[in-house]
A and B are shown apart, each in its own frame.
Chain A
Amino acid sequence: MEKEALKLQLKQQIIQFLNLVSMKPEDIKDDEPLFGEGLGLDSIDSLELIVLLQREYGINIQDPKEGRKILVDVNTMVDYIEKNRTK
Chain B
Amino acid sequence: MLYIHHTSCISPQKTYGGEALSFDKNSVDGKLLSIEPDYSGIPINILRRMGKAVRMGVGAALPLLKPGQPNGIIFGTAIGGMEDCIKFLNQIVQYEEGMLTPGNFVQSTPNAVASQIGLMTKNTGYNITHVHRGLAFEMALLDAMMMCEEKPDAEWLVGGVDEISAYNYNIERLGGWYKTADASSENLFTSATPGSIAGEGAAMFRVSGKGTNAIAAIEAVETIHTKEIIELSDRWKEFLDLHFGKESPELIISGDNGDSRIVPFYKAIQETTPAGADILRFKQFSGEFPTATGFALWLAVSINKLNSLPDSAFISRRGIASYRNAVIYNNYKGEQHSFILVQLP
Pair from one complex: yes
- A residues touching B (Cβ–Cβ < 8 Å)? 17-22, 40, 42, 44, 47-48, 50-51, 54-55
In the complex, the answer to whether B45 meets A47 with C-beta atoms within 8 Å is: no
- Closest residue of chain A to B91 (Cβ to Cβ) is A51
Is the CB–CB distance between A54 and B101 below 8 Å?
no
Task: Answer whether residue B242 sits at the interface, using C-beta atoms and an 8 A cutoff.
Answer: no
B234 CB, min distance to chain A CBs, angstroms: 51
CA distance A20 to B49 in the complex (A): 9
- The answer to whether A44 and B48 touch across the interface, beta carbons within 8 angstroms, is no
B345 at the interface (CB under 8 A from A): no
Identify which of B49, B95, B100 contacts A44 (C-beta below 8 A): B49
Chain B, 4-63, CB within 8 A of any chain A CB: 44-45, 48-49
The one of B48, B99, B103 that contacts A50, using a Cβ cutoff of 8 Å: B99
Chain A positions within 8 Å of B99 at CB level: 50-51, 54
- 29 residue pairs of the A-B complex, CB under 8 angstroms, read A17-B101, A18-B48, A19-B48, A19-B49, A19-B103, A20-B48, A21-B48, A22-B44, A40-B45, A42-B45, A44-B49, A44-B102, A44-B103, A44-B106, A47-B101, A47-B102, A48-B101, A48-B102, A48-B103, A50-B99, A51-B95, A51-B99, A51-B100, A51-B101, A54-B95, A54-B98, A54-B99, A55-B94, A55-B95
Q: State how many angstroms separate the Cβ of B100 from the closest Cβ of chain A.
A: 7
Q: Which residue of A lies closest to B44 (CB)?
A: A22
5 A-B pairs besides A22-B44, A51-B101 with CB distance below 8 A are A19-B48, A47-B102, A48-B102, A48-B103, A50-B99
**B267 smallest CB distance to A (angstroms):** 46
Q: How far is the CB of B338 from chain A (nearest CB, A)?
A: 36
Complex: chain B residue closest to A54, CB-CB:
B99
Looking at the assembled complex, report how far the CB atom of A62 sits from the nearest CB atom of chain B, in whole angstroms. 10
On chain A, the residues within 8 Å of B48 by CB distance are: 18-21
Residues of A within 8 Å of B49, CB to CB, are 19, 44
With a CB–CB cut-off of 8 A, which chain B residues contact A47? 101-102
Measured in the bound complex, the distance between the Cα atoms of B45 and A14 in whole Å is 14
Q: Which residues of B contact A (CB under 8 A)?
A: 44-45, 48-49, 94-95, 98-103, 106
Closest chain-A Cβ to B96's Cβ sits at a distance in Å of 10
Contacts of A19 in B (CB 8 A): 48-49, 103
Bound-complex Cα distance A48 to B106 (A): 13
A18 to chain B, nearest CB (A): 7
Distance in angstroms from A78 CB to nearest chain B CB is 21
CA distance A25 to B95 in the complex (A): 26
Nearest-CB distance from B88 to chain A (Å)? Answer: 12
Q: Which 7 A-B pairs have the closest CB atoms?
A: A19-B48, A51-B101, A48-B101, A44-B102, A51-B99, A47-B102, A54-B99
Contacts of B44 in A (CB 8 A): 22
For A44, the chain B residues whose CB sits under 8 A away are 49, 102-103, 106
B50: nearest chain-A partner, CB-CB:
A19
With a CB–CB cut-off of 8 A, which chain A residues contact B95?
51, 54-55
List chain A residues, Cβ under 8 A from B100. Answer: 51
| Complex Cα spacing A40 to B100, Å | 22
A6 to chain B, nearest CB (A): 22
Which residue, of A21, A22, A44, has the highest number of chain B Cβ atoms within 10 A?
Answer: A44
How far apart are the CA atoms of A42 and B106 in the complex, in Å? 15
Q: In the complex, what's the smallest C-beta–C-beta distance from A32 to chain B, in angstroms?
A: 16
Chain A nearest CB: distance from B9 CB in Å? 25
- Cβ distance B213 to chain A, nearest Cβ, rounded Å: 39
B54 to chain A, nearest CB (A): 13
Q: How far is the CA of A78 from the CA of B3 in the complex (A)?
A: 59
User: Chain A residues with Cβ under 8 A from B94's Cβ?
Assistant: 55
B103 cross-chain contacts in A, Cβ below 8 A: 19, 44, 48
Residue of A nearest to B100 (CB): A51
Measured CA separation A81–B96 after assembly (Å): 22
Instruction: Give CA–CA (A17, B91) in the complex, Å.
Output: 12
Instruction: Give B48's nearest chain A residue, CB to CB.
Output: A19
| Distance from B181 Cβ to chain A, minimum over Cβ atoms (Å) | 35
Shortest distance between the CB of A43 and any CB in chain B (Å): 9
